[in-house]
Amino acid sequence: MIRLKPFKYYRSRLNLLLLAIFLWLFVVTGREYEAATDIPLVVKNISSDKILISDPPDKVEVRFKGIGRSLIVLNTFFNPQYQLDLSAVKYYSEISLSATSVDVPSGLQIEPIEIINPTKVRITLDDRSEKELVITPSVSLGIRPGFVLVGDLTIEPDSVLVSGPRSVIKELKYLTTEERIYEDLHRNLDDEIGIHLPNPKLTPSLEVVTLTAVIERLTEVDFRNIPIAVRNPPQRFSVDLEPPTVSVKVSGAMSLIKNLTPEEIIAEVDFPRRWNSDNNVVIPIITLPEGLELVNCQPDTIYVTLEER
C-alpha cells in the first residue's frame, strides 16, 4: 500500500527552499558591481534673456558602481539625472561631461564613475526676443453650389505675440494657421484652429485662434431701367444714347440682395476707353456694391449719336 506523506512535510521543505534562495540573493546582491545605464540629461540655469537653440542629447550613458541591490533599486524606483549647468555659457560652449554632475538619490550605496557617451556636448544660446505677428489663414473653403461666402474669412484674434531666438524672430513677417480643408459649406463656419510655428523654438502667447465665415444662400434679382451716365464725353458734342437705360441681373448673398436699391447700381459709358467710332457703339460699365456680381446686362452695347453743339 502506498502511503502519502503529510502536506505539512512538503510545505516545510518549500519554505526552506525559499529561504535558501532569499539568502543567496541577499548575499549576491550585497556584493559590489558596475553597470551602465542611460539617464535623462536635464538643462538648468539658462539666463532669462537667453534661449537654447542647439539640441543636446536627451540621455547620457553613465557607468555606476555600487551594491547590487542598490543598482536594482536605482533603475527600478528612482530617476537619476545628469544636471547640465549653463549658467556660465554666454552664446556658445563645448562642455565636457563629468560624473560629478550626475544627480543620484542620497542613501543609496551607489556612485557614478564614468560618462560613457557622449563625453562632450555643444551648446548654442541666442538672445530671447519677442514680436507681434499677424496670423493669416491657410485654409481652403469649399462652398456648396447655391451658397456664397459673405465678406472675408476672419480670424480672432488676428495677431499673436511670439517669443523665441532673435535670429529666428527677426526673419518672421507673419504666421499662418495650420492647413485645413472645409468642404460643402452651407452654413456659418465657427471653428478653432492651431497656429503653425515654422520653428520649434518659438513660443506663442496663444496656441489656437477662431475662424469665422458667414455663408448664405445665393440669390439673383433683376433691375430694369437703370439710367446710363456719360463719363468723359467728347468736347463740343452732345451725346445721345440708345437705349438710355439698361436692365441688369445681379447675384449675391440674400442679406445683400434684399437691401439693394436701383440707385446703388451705377451704369455708365466711358468714351475714350469703350467707344468704337467705326460703328458708333459703346460698352456700358456696371458698378455694383461690394459682394455682388453682375450676371448679365441687357443690352450689352449702346448706340451713340453725337451732335456738334
Domains of the chain: residue spans and CATH: 29-118 (2.170.120), 127-217 (2.170.120.40), 218-308 (2.170.120.30)
The whole-number pLDDT of residue 37 equals 84
- Which tens digits make up the pLDDT trace of 93-140? 999 999 988 888 777 777 888 999 999 999 999 999 999 999 999 999
In the predicted model, what is the mean pLDDT of residues 174-195?
Answer: 96
pTM of the predicted protein model: 0.68
In the predicted model, what is the mean pLDDT of residues 271-276?
Answer: 62
Residue 290 confidence (pLDDT) above 50 = yes
Could you tell me how many helices (H) and strands (E) the chain has, helices first? 5, 24
C-alpha cell at 69: 541591490
The whole-number pLDDT of residue 295 equals 94
163 vs 250: CA distance, rounded Å: 49
Residue 191 confidence (pLDDT) above 50 = yes
- Note the maximum CA span of the chain: 148
116 vs 110: CA distance, rounded Å: 17
Task: Report yes or no: 231 and 247 within 8 Å, Cβ to Cβ.
Answer: no
Residue 7 confidence (pLDDT) above 90 = no
43 vs 124: CA distance, rounded Å: 12
- Which tens digits make up the pLDDT trace of 17-66? 454 444 444 444 456 777 788 889 999 999 999 999 999 999 999 988 88
The whole-number pLDDT of residue 113 equals 87
- Which tens digits make up the pLDDT trace of 135-180? 999 999 999 999 999 989 999 999 999 999 999 999 999 999 999 9
Residue 90 confidence (pLDDT) above 80 = yes
The whole-number pLDDT of residue 76 equals 66
The whole-number pLDDT of residue 24 equals 44
- For 130, which DSSP code? E
Which of 65-79, 228-242, 246-260 has maximum average pLDDT?
246-260
Share of the chain above pLDDT 70, in %: 84
222 vs 270: CA distance, rounded Å: 24
